Amino acid sequence: MFNNKRFKYGAVYVVGVIFIVLLLNTLIMNATSEQISYNTFVDMLKEKKIEKVIIQKDRIVITPKEADGQRKKTMYTGNMKDPSIAALLQESGAQYNTDMPETNPIMDFVLYWIAPVIIFIFLGRLVLGIMDRRAGGGVMSFGKNTAKLYAENKTGKTFEDVAGQEEAKESLVEIVDFLHNPGKYTEIGAKLPKGALLIGPPGTGKTLLAKAVAGEAKVPFFSLSGSDFVEMFVGMGAARVRDLFRQAEDKAPCIIFIDEIDAIGKSRDTNPSTNDEREQTLNQLLSEMDGFDSSKGVVILAATNRPEILDKALLRPGRFDRTVIVDRPDLKGRGAILKVHSRDVKMVDAVNLSEIAKSTAGAVGADLANIVNEAALRAVKNNRRMVEQEDLEDAVEMIMAGKEKKDRILSPKEKRIVAFHEAGHALISALLENTAPVHKITIVPRTMGALGYTMQLPAEEKYLVSREEMFDQITVLLGGRAAEEIEFNLVSTGAANDIEKATESARSMVSIYGMTDRFDMMALESVRNRYLDGSAVLNCSETTAAAIDDETLSIIKESHNKAKKLLLDNRELLKSIAEALIEKETLIGEEFMSMVESGRLRTKSPAYDAQIGENLS
């Protein structure tokens, strides 16, 4: 089979040369020759100004006599096939002749027979090549190109670059060892897993891990995204899969990595609107995975964040028979990831990365990488050569709440409302037992819409949340609105986000966590895609759904009332915190806590106050 690419360049080259020759030809003709009219020619003949005439098939080329030392420029005119011209020519004394080039039979043959054939073959192939590509018939060469594009000999990543995913790494170390010396395993008769599926939320390092496996094993890495297989034309994706495996087998040992495999691996029967192309691609993938011989050292890794929609056939033993969970990192993991990413960033010795790790619960690797980078950018912006703790803290806030919006000026009235709102959240959190300590309160507006926020930091990472804790969290969320009501007797739009979060929590207390007496431990909702937004689907009757709403509402009402009561009982304290916020705009945790402590002493134990009074007097 001819090489399509080289041929295409050849064809372009030939056409180009022909074009240039033609162009030069006409240019030279025009520069040295001038067209004249037929009667001018006859006049010139009569005046005997012509030295030589060559009569060609369709034109007459005229060489005039040299006049006053002027450069001789040939002229031409159309051949009128005028029978009287011979007499005139004879009379004028010019040399004349018809154009009779020396004939060369071989040249003629080449020119008239071979050259057109060659040109037609070239043109034909060029056109065919284009049509092939359009119709999808040319996938062999076309698909190959894409796969080649993604084959990397060195990924440049190692397990060192992946932090906080120790369990995942452990499962993959075995695969690396297998790629290093497959003989060790085949000798004893062991069959190694053909593939491993990396499952986890976006940004946790699935792609990174796959690259690290290839880097550790020092083998080529074929990487394609699931969507690369889904082509416009039916059959393209399947051809591409075939092609990928052929190439991988040639290069074994190697790793094939299919990122976002859910794009092709979607369960075939859940979707009523069948997608033929995807189905064919999936079938091809399944049969390739069955067909190839894993002892050659080809390992397939795939990544997804929607494992629940994958076709069960993909997950059966002999295909992706290993699943590696790459979940959100815990406190220790976040610390380790921060460390990896600050390897090449100059930081002062005093930075405390574990403090940052603490304040980033729920963040994934990609977020943490981003935080370190934002901190470095901030240091540069402030003309510093090293990153300081403050930069990191600011970066965390920026990633979580958006940039500070310095130009948004709130009216004094609005500023007061925001201050009371935030003070309400913070104070409730301080007054309740099962809540995380307040780390910071601020009323500087942020680009992501918040006019202020209260940041709570858990003392330690929690994996279990009790009913009381959930209830208290909801109360804290509703405390913002409660403060507005108490102080201004007003409700504003500022609580929208709090309401949304509180309702979500209350609802899951009822329907997922079995925390109400009414529904006891009945599962009423199931979480669908737990690695993405964690959205849930109801699986109960409509009457039950209405009852769930009732229960949710009663939890919210109870929390709301509790929040209002707590704030009313501590109204003076609420006021003093809000005033402090209005003045300073930001309160850090310690400042806030000392205000709460002294306020409590004043309000809660009048006896104690009296005692001090006595002592003083």
Dihedral angle over CA of 562, 563, 568, 573, nearest 10? 140
Q: Is 422 a catalytic residue?
A: yes
For position 165 contacting ligand ADP by CB under 6 A, the verdict is yes
CB 337 within 8 A of CB 289: no
Least CB distance to ligand ADP at residue 364 (A): 6
Nearest to 279 by CA among 246, 238, 320: 238
Least CB distance to Zn ion at residue 452 (A): 8
Least CB distance to ligand ADP at residue 7 (A): 39
Looking at 16, 202, 362, 534, which residue binds ligand ADP (CB under 6 A)?
202
Phi and psi dihedrals of 532, rounded to 5?
A: -105, -115
The residue with tokens 């098939």 is: 57
Least CB distance to ligand ADP at residue 356 (A): 15
Looking at 64, 205, 424, 479, which residue binds ligand ADP (CB under 6 A)?
205
Residue among 204 and 294 whose Cβ is closer to ligand ADP: 204
SS3 422: helix
Interacting positions 184-223 with Mg ion (CB under 5 A): 207
For position 155 contacting Mg ion by CB under 5 A, the verdict is no
Interacting positions 490-509 with Zn ion (CB under 5 A): 498
CA–CA dist 160, 314 (Å, integer): 30
Residue among 372 and 502 whose Cβ is closer to Zn ion: 502
Residue among 171 and 497 whose Cβ is closer to ligand ADP: 171
Peptide bond into 317 cis (omega under 30): no
Interacting positions 288-347 with ligand ADP (CB under 6 A): 303, 337, 340
DSSP state of 493: G
DSSP string, 134-187: HHTTTHHHHHHHHHHHHEES-----GGG--S-HHHHHHHHHHHHHHH-HHHHHH
Residue among 12 and 532 whose Cβ is closer to ligand ADP: 532
Q: Taking CB under 5 A as the rule, which mask of x and - marks residues 440-479 in contact with Zn ion? A: ----------------------------------------
For position 165 contacting Mg ion by CB under 5 A, the verdict is no
Angle at 237 between CA 232 and CA 242, to 5 degrees: 155
- # residues near ligand ADP by CB under 6 A: 18
Least CB distance to Mg ion at residue 152 (A): 15
Angle at 206 between CA 149 and CA 345, to 5 degrees: 90
Tell me which residue has its CB nearest to ligand ADP.
Answer: 365
The residue with tokens 């007003």 is: 490
For position 365 contacting ligand ADP by CB under 6 A, the verdict is yes
CA 294 to chain CA centroid, Å, is: 31
CA–CA dist 233, 139 (Å, integer): 10
Residue among 238 and 337 whose Cβ is closer to ligand ADP: 337
Q: Give the interface segment with ligand ADP, choosing from 106-114, 148-156, 157-165, 464-472 (CB under 6 A).
A: 157-165
Expressed in angstroms, the distance from the first to the final Cα of the chain is 108
For position 195 contacting ligand ADP by CB under 6 A, the verdict is no
Question: Which of the listed partners (ligand ADP, Zn ion, Mg ion, none) does 498 bind, with a CB threshold of 5 to 8 Å by partner kind?
Answer: Zn ion
524-533: long-range pairs with CB below 8 Å, 24+: 524/548, 528/308, 529/305, 529/306, 529/308, 529/309, 530/308, 531/199, 531/200, 531/201, 531/202, 531/305, 531/306, 531/307, 532/201, 532/202, 532/305, 532/306
Least CB distance to ligand ADP at residue 553 (A): 38
Looking at 208, 371, 398, 524, which residue binds ligand ADP (CB under 6 A)?
208
CB 268 within 8 A of CB 279: yes
Dihedral angle over CA of 8, 11, 13, 16, nearest 10? -130
Residue among 364 and 427 whose Cβ is closer to Mg ion: 364
Least CB distance to ligand ADP at residue 333 (A): 7
Question: Which of the listed partners (ligand ADP, Zn ion, Mg ion, none) does 480 bind, with a CB threshold of 5 to 8 Å by partner kind?
Answer: Zn ion
Catalytic residue among 374, 422, 485, 487: 422
For position 475 contacting Mg ion by CB under 5 A, the verdict is no
Tell me which residue has its CB nearest to Mg ion.
Answer: 207
Least CB distance to Zn ion at residue 480 (A): 3
Least CB distance to ligand ADP at residue 370 (A): 8
Q: Give the interface segment with ligand ADP, choosing from 57-65, 129-137, 203-211, 393-401 (CB under 6 A).
A: 203-211
CB 448 within 8 A of CB 454: no
Which residues, including other chains, have CB under 8 Å from residue 232's CB and lie 6 or more apart?
A: none
For position 480 contacting Zn ion by CB under 5 A, the verdict is yes
Which whole-number Å values give the CA distances from 450 to 10, 33, 400, 405, 497, in the listed order? 62, 81, 11, 10, 9
Largest CA distance in the chain: 149
Looking at 140, 366, 547, 553, which residue binds ligand ADP (CB under 6 A)?
366
Q: Give the interface segment with ligand ADP, choosing from 28-36, 69-77, 156-164, 248-256 (CB under 6 A).
A: 156-164
Residue 597: Cβ within 10 Å count:
11
Looking at 53, 60, 139, 162, which residue binds ligand ADP (CB under 6 A)?
162
| Residue 465, amino acid | V
Binding site for Mg ion (CB under 5 A): 207
Residues serving a catalytic function are 422
Binding site for ligand ADP (CB under 6 A): 162-165, 200, 202-208, 303, 337, 340, 365-366, 369
